[in-house]
Structure 1
Amino acid sequence: MSLIKPFAGLRPAPGRATEVVAPPYDVMSAAEARAMVEGRPWSFLHISRAEVDLPADTDPYDAAVYDQARANLAAMLEAGVLVRDPSPRYYVYRLTLGGHRQTGLVVTASVEAYRTHRIQRHELTRPVKEDDRVRQIEALNAQTGPVFLVHPDVPAIDRAIEEASRGAPEVVTKAGDGVDHELWSVTDPDAIARLTAAFEALPALYIADGHHRCAAAARVSAARRGHAVSASTGASADYFLAVTFPAAEVQILAYNRVIRDLNGLEPNAFLDRLAAAFRVARSADPVVPAGHGEFGLYLDGRWYRLTIDPAAIPREDPVGRLDVSLLQERLIGPILGITDPRRDERIDFVGGVRGLDGLTERVDSGEMRLALTLYPTAIEDLIAVAEAGALMPPKSTWFEPKLADGLVSHVLD
């Protein structure tokens, strides 16, 4: 079973992409999704967030939501808004946001490779979210949300993708998120064979984002096979929709924290406790950490710079040396009493794309008591954690730009 395969994608009919493509389903609230579909009857959110077409109090995991998604997909097919390509192919996918550009390949990737850790993971999954993705795939008989993969930088792959993206793209659009999305089809059999062989030579691919979609695809594959290990027959359910990018091109932004209270401490006592674990200095300006081991604290309208002694960072531990781990082990856990940030409602996470205003506004409003800024996790650290068979702490990475939903989907034959 090859690591990747071409496939006949389901995508917007020519000229319809702008009406269809949408931001990924899991980066918005239900209210935001409802606002986004106003005046957009063909938005892919009618499939990926089908509760927008049901009463506002509908549970997003209600069976009616999946039934609605199935009906909406059927309507888009009947109207000719979505069409399926006539033959298997790869797709070159380029995203541009401001001065950042990354170009990857849309593929179907092997469930067997995921099961045997050739496609390596770094994150735990939650059963409720896995169940949601399983039900969505089964309702649509399709995978509509691509998994974001990263592959090692290989000149031969870079050249093949560059060659395939020469000339005008078939699709140029935005997904309502300010990102330019461009798509090319790779239909030449020799180009397909070269790409397949080049990826087959790789030791591993790495999941950047989409662990629940991978896990759900594996469950669907196993269910359709009737046992836990897929046979090597190449059935479409034995592969999952993915986009893979070279490691050097992906962009990770900081994933900052906001905390609801000081765990019963007065501000001065809290700062005294910090001084035992960090070098603490007032800052006249907002603190955007410039390197590992440096953090910003916003409390009572003031900014502080927190710094760890470099000698105290466990450089040989791929998880322990992460800034998210250092902050959790030195401050969030022992001082603020939040030992399980996955479940504790006193902590929330703010992706770097929302900027410092997204932090300070929540503190100044009184909703949260303090904010913490971090230096972004490096892609090399993510790969090191995955290769060690370890797990990243929750909310360690925020990848930007985000992949669009609805640009290409994978139908299960």
Structure 2
Amino acid sequence: MAKIIPFKAVRAPKHKANLVPSRSYEDYDFRDLEAQLAYNPFSFLQIINPGYKFHKNVSGAERFQLVKNRYLEFKEDKTLIQDEQPCLYLYKIKTRNNSFCGIIAGTSSQDYKDDLIKKHEDTLEKREQLFTQYLKTVGFNAEPVLLTYPDNDQIATTLEKIMQLPAEYEFTTTDRVSHFLWVVNEENLISSIQSYFQDLGSVYIADGHHRSSSSNLLTDQLARENPEHTGKEPYNFFMSYLIPESDLKIYEFNRLVKDLNGLDKESFLMKLDKWFRIENRGAELYKPSKKHHFGMYLDGDFYSLYLRKSIYEFTDALSSLDTQILHKIVLEPILGITDLRNDKRIEYGYGKHNVIKMKNLIDEGEFSVGFSLIPVTIEEMKAIADAGLTMPPKSTYIEPKLRSGLTIYEF
């Protein structure tokens, strides 16, 4: 019984819709960020990078307060305006190869607690606490959590009907991605959409585990501080973008390791031989195409590694996940990497050309060995979430990647 609610979004007026939203802050390299800050005074980056105004790097509580100040200035200048009534928002993203369409809505922290919003990744407590402090100071959330739900004909038909109407926003960004936003403010239509989602049962976090867990922590904090807490306050919900499973695109992360943990090439291959049937593919660019098959690049050669299933023990959904297999029988026991998040000897890469990039980095001596995998499937992701298990870090690279500041949710 997944609950969604309409909310009064804070967003740009139509004539500035292409100027305010930005990609996630981490997506920008230094030159890109500087250009955006120098030449677009309306970019949401101005809010989340408030030190730029003072030519100073700021962090922690000082930065959080300045973010709030910049946000209030954007509202005072009417660069951001709050809708007068609670709405749902239909948001369509169209790239060169894919199209994504879903609903931006408030989702329930109680559903998160009750595991109706299911998780498949671990979160870092330090990062959770920091982001909770940020949310409490600034009083808004500007980037939705990406949730996915089983394909549903009633929802799909309803969204198609809405898209027959003119969009409130329609613009294309410099990365050649087109964005469309429809404002859904008719009460009967909102009620229908809510009832369809209530009939779904569970929904799944695709991207945004730290955002959702921090929002849940904020709910608990503000509830304790509010003697008249009812459970209906805005802080009991967090902004999400809900799309059907068929729209979700999941890509793999490859693994690159800086050294062989003191082993020479032959000794390393002999240790791998216990677990894999190994074939040297030479200069042939090899990418795995089946579950439990892995690609490896080492010392100028590509290898295929086929798991010896007769000796590997499959016990649950997690144990059959390729990223978990690689961690448990190669990265940890052979290469000595126990902390996949923080060990500086391992890095991750994604993208369709990443095997070539992996080869180049190893040929240049920056890394010693690289492993390529096939993408995790939505069925694997759901099975792990349903079992209450968590994937190793960097198991999935998921699209769509959402923009900050398109719609803003205030607590």
- Shared fold (TM-score, shorter chain, > 0.5): yes
Structure 2: distance between partners of 1:93 and 1:245:
10
Structure 2: distance between partners of 1:31 and 1:259:
28
Which residues of 2 match residues 262-301 of structure 1 at below 5 A?
Answer: 262-283=260-281, 284-301=283-300
Structure 1 residues 117 and 79 mapped into 2: Cα distance closer, same or farther (>3 Å)? Answer: same
Cα displacement string for residues 162-213 of structure 1 (whole angstroms, at most 9, x for unaligned residues): 2222233222234554432221111122210100111111211111111111
2:94/2:179 contact within 8 Å kept? yes
Task: Name the amino acid aligned to 1:186.
Answer: V
Structure 1 residues 2 and 295 mapped into 2: Cα distance closer, same or farther (>3 Å)? Answer: closer
TM-score (norm 2): 0.92
2:275/2:311 contact within 8 Å kept? no
Give the C-alpha shift of residue 79 in structure 1. Answer: 2.0
Structure 2: distance between partners of 1:146 and 1:409:
9
DSSP-derived class of the 2:296 partner: strand
Cα displacement string for residues 276-310 of structure 1 (whole angstroms, at most 9, x for unaligned residues): 21122222332222121111112223221212145
Task: Name the amino acid aligned to 2:40.
Answer: R
Structure 2: distance between partners of 1:311 and 1:12:
58
Task: Name the amino acid aligned to 2:133.
Answer: R
Q: 1:241 aligns with which of 234, 239, 242?
A: 239
Structure 2: distance between partners of 1:231 and 1:314:
49
Structure 1 residues 223 and 110 mapped into 2: Cα distance closer, same or farther (>3 Å)? Answer: same
DSSP-derived class of the 2:366 partner: coil
Residue 394 of structure 1 aligns with which residue? Answer: 393
Give the C-alpha shift of residue 230 in structure 1. Answer: 11
Which residues of 2 match residues 22-61 of structure 1 at below 5 A?
Answer: 22-28=22-28, 33-53=33-53, 58=57, 61=59
Cα displacement string for residues 82-114 of structure 1 (whole angstroms, at most 9, x for unaligned residues): 111111111111122222112111000001111
DSSP-derived class of the 2:287 partner: coil
Give the C-alpha shift of residue 48 in structure 1. Answer: 3.3
DSSP-derived class of the 1:271 partner: helix
Q: 1:251 aligns with which of 249, 252, 260?
A: 249
Which residues of 2 match residues 126-141 of structure 1 at below 5 A?
Answer: 126-141=124-139
Give the C-alpha shift of residue 354 in structure 1. Answer: 6.1
1:122/1:390 contact within 8 Å kept? yes
Give the C-alpha shift of residue 138 in structure 1. Answer: 2.0
Task: Name the amino acid aligned to 1:367.
Answer: E
Residue 96 of structure 1 aligns with which residue? Answer: 94
Residue 341 of structure 1 aligns with which residue? Answer: 340
Residue 378 of structure 2 aligns with which residue? Answer: 379
DSSP-derived class of the 1:172 partner: strand
DSSP-derived class of the 1:19 partner: coil
DSSP-derived class of the 1:15 partner: helix
Deviates most, 263-272 or 246-255: 263-272
Structure 2: distance between partners of 1:332 and 1:248:
32
Task: Name the amino acid aligned to 2:95.
Answer: L
Residue 63 of structure 1 aligns with which residue? Answer: 61
Deviates most, 256-265 or 35-44: 35-44
Give the C-alpha shift of residue 405 in structure 1. Answer: 0.8
Percent identity over the alignment?
29
TM-score (norm 1): 0.92
Cα displacement string for residues 197-256 of structure 1 (whole angstroms, at most 9, x for unaligned residues): 111112111111111111111122112111799965411110001001111110001111
DSSP-derived class of the 1:157 partner: helix
Structure 1 residues 178 and 333 mapped into 2: Cα distance closer, same or farther (>3 Å)? Answer: farther
Residue 3 of structure 2 aligns with which residue? Answer: 3
Task: Name the amino acid aligned to 2:99.
Answer: R
Deviates most, 381-390 or 159-168: 159-168
Structure 2: distance between partners of 1:2 and 1:99:
30
**Structure 2 residue ranges without an equivalent (≥5):** none
**Structure 1 residue ranges without an equivalent (≥5):** none
1:17/1:173 contact within 8 Å kept? yes
Structure 1 residues 17 and 359 mapped into 2: Cα distance closer, same or farther (>3 Å)? Answer: farther
Structure 1 residues 176 and 390 mapped into 2: Cα distance closer, same or farther (>3 Å)? Answer: farther
DSSP-derived class of the 1:282 partner: strand
